[in-house]
Amino acid sequence: MHTARNTWKERNRRTFEGNSQRPDQVFILIQEEVNLRRWACGSPDLC
């Protein structure tokens, strides 16, 4: 779910804002989101 969401956000950024990030930057965003949810909920799947 996190991968799909961040891939979709990157697609929108490229399409509508004309900006893009490298794949490794998108991967870091995915890792950060998972870690934040894990910290907040105890598991990335609970929230």
The tens place of each residue's pLDDT in the chain, 47 residues long, gives 778 988 999 999 999 999 989 999 999 999 998 898 888 888 666 66
Distance CA 8, CA 13 (A): 9
* Confidence at residue 1, expressed as pLDDT on a 0 to 100 scale: 76
* Confidence at residue 47, expressed as pLDDT on a 0 to 100 scale: 63
Half-sphere exposure (Cβ direction) of 32: Cα atoms closer than 13 Å:
7
Q: Give helix 23-41 / helix 2-12 axis angle, nearest 10°.
A: 130
* Confidence at residue 22, expressed as pLDDT on a 0 to 100 scale: 92
Distance CA 2, CA 28 (A): 11
Distance CA 37, CA 11 (A): 22
Cβ neighbors of 41 (< 8 A, separation 6 or more) are 47
